[in-house]
């Protein structure tokens, strides 16, 4: 079984969506992945510079098959979403936009750059990962 290397974009201010997505992926049988996201415990979030965080993200994305971005409306206002999109595109990594569960408004920016837009559904997310990796 293939192990997929994923960078899951997130905002720690909205960590419920990130944690929910990780939970969905963890519960999916016959799907193996490695999460390359910069962990919340990494001090670079609070004590590092923007440049150090940018480089940390680059150093993670380069090894990934896919970049997953949660397309909640908050993504449109995050300075890091544009940078993560830029990094993904620089390295030629496909982007999957995941529309949060029950969302009526989503991020136009994320969806414009996505190679695939999926709903908050385990099978749709896993299928998109397998298709694009």
pLDDT given at position 32 = 97
- CATH number of the domain enclosing 39: 3.40.50.9200
The H or E element that residue 66 is part of is strand 66-70
Contact present, 23 and 52 (Cβ < 8 Å): no
Q: What's the pLDDT band for 129 if we cut at 50, 70, 90?
A: very high
pLDDT digits (tens, 9 = 90+) for 82-95: 889 999 999 999 99
Cα-based distances in Å from 91 to 36, 85, 86, 99? 15, 10, 9, 23
**In this predicted structure, which of 9-18, 25-34, 78-87 has the lowest mean pLDDT?**
9-18
| Count of structural domains, the chain | 1
Higher pLDDT, 56 or 98: 98
pLDDT digits (tens, 9 = 90+) for 57-89: 899 999 999 999 988 765 555 677 888 999 999
**pTM exceeds cut of 0.75:** yes
pLDDT given at position 50 = 81
Q: Which domain does 39 fall in, by range?
A: 3-132
pLDDT given at position 38 = 74
Alpha helix segments (H runs only) across 34-77 = 44-47, 50-61
């Amino acid at each position: 079984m293939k192990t997929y290397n994923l960078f899951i974009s997130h905002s720690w201010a909205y960590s419920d969506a990130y944690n929910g997505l990780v939970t969905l992926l963890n519960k999916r049988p016959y799907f193996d992945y490695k999460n390359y996201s910069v962990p919340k415990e990494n001090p670079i979030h609070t004590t590092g510079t923007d440049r150090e965080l940018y480089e940390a993200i680059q150093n993670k994305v380069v090894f990934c098959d896919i970049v997953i971005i949660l397309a909640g409306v908050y993504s449109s206002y995050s300075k890091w979403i544009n940078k993560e999109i830029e990094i993904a595109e620089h390295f030629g990594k496909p982007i999957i936009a995941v529309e949060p569960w029950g969302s009526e408004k989503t991020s136009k920016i994320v969806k414009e750059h996505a190679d695939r837009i999926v709903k908050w559904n385990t099978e749709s997310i896993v299928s998109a990962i397998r298709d694009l990796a």
